[in-house]
Amino acid sequence: MVEKRTSKSKAKQEKMSGWEKLKGKYKEIDAYCKEYMKFISGVKTEREAVDYVKKVVDTLEGIVYLENRGKAIALWKEGKITPMDGIRIVVAHIDSPRLDLKVNPLYEDTEIAMLKTHYYGGIKKYQWLARPLAMHGRIAKEDGSVVDLVIGERDKDVCFTIEDLLPHLAQKQYNKKVSDAFEGERLNLIVGSRPDTGAKEDKVKKAILDLLKRKYNMVEEDFVSADLEIVPAGPAREVGLDSSMIGAYGHDDRSCAWAALKALIEAKDLPYTTVVLLVDKEEIGSEGNTGAKSRFLEEVVWDIGERLGSNIVPSRVLFKSLAISADVNGALDPDYPEVHEKTNAAKLGYGVCVTKFTGSRGKSGSSEARAEYMAWIRSILNRRSIPWQTGELGKVDEGGGGTVAKYLAEYGMEIVDMGPALLSMHAPFEVASKVDLYSTYLAYRAFMEEK
Ligand code: MN
Ligand code: MN
C-alpha cells in the first residue's frame, strides 16, 4: 500500500512543470534573473564575457583564473580530493551568432557609406535586416595600443542597420527559396550618408574616415587588425504579461556561462577541484586557439597542478574527470511542432534540459553520455528536487546540431549536455523561461557539490 502510493506520487512529480516544482522559490528565481538580465544586456561578445568574469573573480577569494588571449577563460576552485583522482568541469561557450566586419569593410555606394560583413555561426539572415544593430569590439593598432568600442547600446548612442528590400518591389525575391532570397554579400551595414563637400570622390566614405580619425584615432588600415562584431542593439527584456520569460541576444550560450559562474561562486565544500571553462568559437565548430579544440584545458590542468604543488599528469586527470557541457537546446515550438518528436522534445518551463546525445543523421557527430553517467546525473538532480527534463534536438533526420561535448570527451572524461531549452534559438532575440534559467544554475551547483 505504502509502496504503491510512493511510486504514484513520484511518477506525478516527474511530469510537474518547473513552476510547480519550485513553488515557494519565486523570489529566488526573480533575484537570479534580474542579475542575469543585467549581465546579458551588457555582455555581448566573448571578449566582454572574459573581461566581466575577470572583474567579478578579482573581488573574490578562493577562485583562480587562467585566461586565453582575452577570448576564453578558465576559473577553478580547489576541492578536498586530490586532482589526480579527477576534477569536475563545467564548460560553456561565450561566443554567439553575429555579423563580423570584413577586413576591408568600408565602401561607398549610392552615396551611402557601408561596412561589409561576414556572418558568424548559424543565422537566418533575414532576421538581421531592418533592425537596430550595435558594434562591439577591439581595434589593435600598429604601435601595440588597442581601442575598445561599444557603439549603439546607450540611448544617446547612434546605432547601425542593414536595409531590407521594400515589399512593393520584392516580387522576384518572394519567388525564391528562403536560402537564396537573402545573400550574405548583401548584409552590409549602413554607417553614414553625409558627404564631405570638399572631397572630389567617395565623399561620404571620406567623411566617415575623417570621423573615425577624429573620434577613435583610427585610419582605414586599422580595420585589418580589428575584431569588430555587429550584434542586436538594446537590452534584454522580460517577455509575457506574467514576466515569466526573458528575451535577449546570446542566451546561447551565455545563460549557461552565467549559471556556471554563479554556481562556482556559491558552491560550498567542493569534493573535487572544479573548473568552469568558458570557450570561444563554438558556433563555428570550436576551431582555433581559443575554441574547445585548442589544448587550453590541458594548460589549465598544468596550472592547477603547479599552484597546488602536486605532480599532475593532465591526460590522467582529465581521463578520470566528470563534466557538463553547459549548452542550450531547442524547446518544443508551438508554431512549428512538426519538427519535434513530442515525447522527447524539451518544453519551456520544465527545468534544465539534459541531452544524452546530440548530432544528426544517426547520431553522427555526437558525444553520447553513457547510461551509468546519466543515472548519476539523474540521481543528483532528483536528490535536490531540481526541475529537469530530457531533450532531443528535433525529430530523427530533421536536422540537428552539436556542442563542445565531443571535444572534451576526446580526453576520455564522462560528459553530458545540460542547459535551458530556448525558443527562437540563434535569433537576435532568443526566449528563455526564468524557471529554466534558475534550474540550470541549481543543476550546475549540484554537479559541483555532490559526490
Ligand atoms: Mn550553444
Ligand atoms: Mn548555438
- Give me the CATH number covering residue 347: 3.40.630.10
Together in a domain, 277 and 376: yes
CB 387 within 8 A of CB 29: no
Judge whether 433 lies within some domain. Answer: yes
> Ligand 2 mean position to 97 CA, how many Å?
7
Together in a domain, 67 and 80: yes
**Which pLDDT band holds residue 401 (cuts at 50, 70, 90)?**
confident
How much is the pLDDT for 400?
85
Q: If you average pLDDT over residues 400-422, what whole number do you get?
A: 95
Judge whether 240 lies within some domain. Answer: no
Together in a domain, 258 and 314: yes
Together in a domain, 62 and 201: no
Together in a domain, 122 and 132: yes
> Ligand 1 mean position to 278 CA, how many Å?
12
State how far the Cα of 81 lies from the Cα of 78, in Å rounded to an integer.
9
How much is the pLDDT for 76?
98
Judge whether 302 lies within some domain. Answer: yes
How much is the pLDDT for 14?
55
Domain count, the chain: 2
CB 369 within 8 A of CB 415: yes
Torsion of CA 352, 354, 355, 356, to 10 degrees: 180
Q: If you average pLDDT over residues 55-68, what whole number do you get?
A: 97
Comparing CA positions, the residue from 185, 176, 180, 184 lying closest to residue 123 is 184
How much is the pLDDT for 156?
95
Q: Which ligand is the nearest neighbour of the Cα of 355? A: 1
Q: Which ligand is the nearest neighbour of the Cα of 326? A: 1
Kindly tell me if the per-residue pLDDT of 267 is higher than 60: yes
Q: Which ligand is the nearest neighbour of the Cα of 425? A: 2
Q: If you average pLDDT over residues 21-42, what whole number do you get?
A: 98
- Residue 386 vs residues 18, 66, 136, 255, 413: alpha-carbon distances, Å: 8, 31, 37, 17, 24
Judge whether 373 lies within some domain. Answer: yes
**Which pLDDT band holds residue 283 (cuts at 50, 70, 90)?**
very high
Judge whether 237 lies within some domain. Answer: no
State how far the Cα of 431 lies from the Cα of 421, in Å rounded to an integer.
9
Together in a domain, 225 and 352: no
> Ligand 1 mean position to 49 CA, how many Å?
15
434-449 vs 371-383: helix axis angle to the nearest 10?
110
> Ligand 2 mean position to 341 CA, how many Å?
20
Together in a domain, 273 and 339: yes
> Ligand 1 mean position to 33 CA, how many Å?
19
What are residue 6's phi and psi, to 5 degrees? -60, -50
Query: What CATH number should be reported for the domain holding residue 112?
Result: 2.30.250.10
The tens digit of pLDDT for each residue in 108-165 reads 999 999 999 999 999 999 999 999 999 999 999 999 999 999 999 999 999 999 999 9
Judge whether 243 lies within some domain. Answer: no
Q: Which ligand is the nearest neighbour of the Cα of 122? A: 2
Q: Which ligand is the nearest neighbour of the Cα of 292? A: 1
Together in a domain, 414 and 289: yes
How much is the pLDDT for 13?
46
Q: Residues with beta carbon < 5 A to ion ligand 2?
A: 252
How much is the pLDDT for 287?
95
**Which pLDDT band holds residue 3 (cuts at 50, 70, 90)?**
very low
> Range of 61's domain?
15-96+249-449
Judge whether 363 lies within some domain. Answer: yes
Burial of residue 401 (CB within 10 Å: 0-12, 13-18, 19+) is middle
Together in a domain, 39 and 29: yes
374 CB neighbour count, 10 Å cutoff:
16
Q: Which ligand is the nearest neighbour of the Cα of 93? A: 1
Together in a domain, 292 and 374: yes
> Ligand 1 mean position to 35 CA, how many Å?
21
- Give me the chain's average pLDDT, please: 95
How much is the pLDDT for 393?
87
Together in a domain, 220 and 287: no
State how far the Cα of 438 lies from the Cα of 419, in Å rounded to an integer.
10
Together in a domain, 344 and 389: yes
Last residue of a domain, one of 202, 232, 262: 232
Judge whether 244 lies within some domain. Answer: no
Determine what percent of the chain is predicted with pLDDT higher than 90.
91
Last residue of a domain, one of 232, 266, 283: 232
